[in-house]
Amino acid sequence: MDLRNDLQCYARVLHLMAHYELGNFDLMESLTKSVYRFMAKRERLTRVEEEMFKFLRTSFHTSRSSLRAEFEKFLEKIRGFEGNRYEARAFAYLDLVSWVESKVSQRPMSAIIAEKYQNSKRKMLPAETTAKSA
C-alpha cells in the first residue's frame, strides 16, 4: 500500500512535535535525525522544513531562559515564508506558526487558533452583511 508521501512526512513531523511537547528530549535528537533523513529522501525539503529542523537541533542545547528568544527568531523566519507559494504545503498541513506563537506567548495553541478564528470571522462579517443587504 502506497500512502501519499507528503502526508507521511507531516505525520512524522507531528509525531516529532508531540515528543517535543512531552519533553522527551532524550528521544528528540535521534528522532529529529530520522525524520529529517526520511523527508530529505524525497528531495523536496522546503525552506520552512529546513528552518524547523535547524531550530529543533539547536533548541535541545538552549537554556530555558533563552529558549523564548530562540522561538521568537524562529517565528520571524517562518513568517517570512508564509506568502511564498512554494512553501504553502508546509503551512497547509501543519500550523507551525500557531505552535510557535503559543510558545512565544506562553499560551495554549488552542487559544491561539481560537483567537485567529474569531478574528477571521470578524473580518468576514462586514462583507457578508453588505452582500445580503444588496
Give the model confidence (pLDDT) of 77-124 as tens digits: 999 998 898 888 888 888 899 999 999 999 999 999 999 888 888 777
Number of residues assigned to the chain: 134
pTM equals 0.79
Q: How far apart are CA 5 and CA 95, in angstroms?
A: 19
How many helices (H) does the chain have, and how many strands (E)?
7, 0
Q: How confident is the model at residue 126 (pLDDT cuts 50, 70, 90)?
A: low
